[in-house]
Amino acid sequence: MLEHLTTESRNEKTMSLDEMGTLEFLEVMNEEDIKVAHCVKKELPQISKAVEMIVEAMNKNGRLIYMGAGTSGRIGLLDAVECPPTFNTDPSEVVGLIAGGEKAFIKAVEGAEDSFELGPEDLKKIELTNRDVVVGIAASGRTPYVIAGLEYANQVGAGTVSISCNKGSEIGKIAKVAIEVVNGPEVLTGSTRLKAGTSQKLVCNMLSTASMVGVGKVYGNLMVDLQLTNEKLVERAKRIIMDATDCSYEIADEFLEKAHAQPKIAIVMILTNVSYEEASNRLVKAQGFIRKTI
């Protein structure tokens, strides 16, 4: 029942919220938000297990698939859509599913999250395989859409991860790796878009970023696989090449052009003094890791 969930309990600090001054309330809210990162820290061992599962899947051409309803679904979608521009992944490699479909990102679709049929249906539509990893996100840990999706993923033999904000969650019992970040009561009772949503975003940031590091999408702390979709990103790519190779702006500009706007290849060309074709071949052999080409 909802009343037993931490995410639904009342916060003693804000029992008189409607009588508090604006600054007073914001100070309390800020104090509560500060706790979130510490709560996530407690789950790092589980998050690490999930990352290892995702890296293994991606090395076998598997996908990272987020699924959730409402705020949880939107957070998964946000993380998924940022992966192509940041890491030059194909949109099919990191997928975000939300109960009710893409239109639910903007406006809630009545009854979608309560459906035990929609979760498996959405996974069947994208042809889920045993090479994939499904990350089910639900603050309460009891959303039917996510429960049924994870159960189906287990049947298929896919990797399964849960992200919830209650201990002993229903989805945690189903997933092979359970991440349960308990942030305590929200300042506005039951409004899980607040601390719960923040913690879910932090965890998704970790899952995608650490996984991309694990499959060779970075060099040092540089995002060498970014897509150059606008002038700002073109200039960022040149700075990345300069930082990675200690070259001048002019050299970075020259080699970015020679590398057909692919910063990673430009970096290998400069560091190893080889042609575009050779740099490309070396990266393939090194499974995308620049450091292994040197």
Indicate which residues carry an active-site annotation: 82, 113
Collapse the DSSP code of 263 into the 3-class scheme (helix H, G, I; strand E, B; otherwise coil) and give the result: helix
Strands in 159-164's sheet, in edge-to-edge order, are 94-98, 64-68, 133-137, 159-164, 177-180
| Cα–Cα distance measured from residue 17 to residue 152, given in angstroms and rounded to the nearest whole number | 42
Identify the CA nearest to 61 among candidates 95, 93, 96, 87: 93
Contact status, residue 218 vs residue 212, Cβ threshold 8 Å:
yes
- The secondary structure of 174-240 as a DSSP string is HSSEEEE------SSTT-TTTHHHHHHHHHHHHHHHHHHHHTT--BTTB-TT----SHHHHHHHHHH
DSSP 11: P
Amino acid (1-letter code) at residue 169: S
Structural contact between residues 9 and 189, judged by C-beta atoms closer than 8 angstroms: yes
From residue 143, alpha-carbon distances to 137, 164, 188, 195, 235 in Å are 9, 10, 20, 18, 44
Q: Are 113 and 70 in contact (CB under 8 A)?
A: yes
Mark out the alpha helices in the chain (DSSP H runs).
22-41, 44-58, 70-87, 118-125, 144-156, 170-174, 195-214, 231-245, 249-258, 263-272, 276-285
